[in-house]
Amino acid sequence: MSSNSALEHMIDKVLAQKEAELISQIDSAYQESLDNLESSRGKLEAERTRIVEAARKQAENLKRQIIGSARLAARNQELLTIENAVNKAFEEAKKKLQASSSSDSYKELLKHMVEESISAVGGSNAAVIIERNKNDAELVRKVVSELQDSGKLQQARVSDQHIDVLGGIRIKSSDGTMTYDNTLDSRIERLKPLIRKNIAQMLRGVE
């Protein structure tokens, strides 16, 4: 073999070796790129799933908030409707009571109120002061006088000072330790919760 042939053979061998190394490096880099791409794809899919899930939860929360707000608004409107209806009913009742303040039935009501109030603060022997509005002064005095004549009332005095109420009486012991409010105003206030309940049942279709 000539020297030139030997040199060419050596060069071909070196080139073949370098070519193999280069191909091996390219293959390795390609496989690494594939692995990185696959890994990135998994991470991207996980991130996409996380974003979608977070958006779903946010949508559910928003839906609950909207429904909750709508229910609260409806409840508030219902309460307002009930309160307006109650107030209107009692305004009408007050007008009727004022119109009937001079009737015999009102006198009987006052008599019952006095007897009930006296019983609440200690009985017929209790020393009491009876308060009333300006218009009922004479009528209350007449009722008290009749009860005293019948022995159902002993130490009772009708106050010269009037109180600002629709009607009825307020009675208190002479020493001021006990008071019983039996005015029409207080009776009406005590009825309001029951009326509210009845109106609410009517609005909801409950018998």
In whole angstroms, what is the distance from residue 65 CA to residue 207 CA?
32
Decide: helix, strand or coil at residue 175. Answer: coil
Give the tokens for residue 154.
């002993």
**32-46 pLDDT, tens per residue?**
766 766 666 667 677
Task: Name the one residue in this structure whose structure tokens are 């009860």.
Answer: 147
CATH fold, domain 102-197, is: hypothetical protein PF0899 fold (3.30.2320)
**46, 110, 113, 146 from 103: Cα distances, Å:** 85, 11, 16, 17
Least confident of 27-41, 76-90, 152-166, 170-184: 27-41
- Whether residue 82 contacts residue 199, with contact meaning beta carbons closer than 8 Å, is answered with yes
**7 residue type, one letter:** L
Give the tokens for residue 129.
């002061």
Does 137 have pLDDT greater than 80?
Answer: yes
- Whether residue 152 contacts residue 115, with contact meaning beta carbons closer than 8 Å, is answered with yes
pLDDT of residue 38: 67
**70-105 pLDDT, tens per residue?**
787 777 787 787 778 777 877 777 777 666 666 678
Task: Please count the CA atoms within 13 angstroms of the CA of 96 that sit on its side-chain side.
Answer: 8
DSSP 103-130: SHHHHHHHHHHHHHHHHHTT-TTS-EEE
Going across the sheet that includes 156-162, the strands are 156-162, 128-132, 168-173, 179-183
| Overall pTM > 0.75 | no
- pLDDT above 90 covers what percent of the chain? 5
The helix (H) or strand (E) run that includes residue 168 is strand 168-173
Boundaries of every domain in the chain: 1-99, 102-197
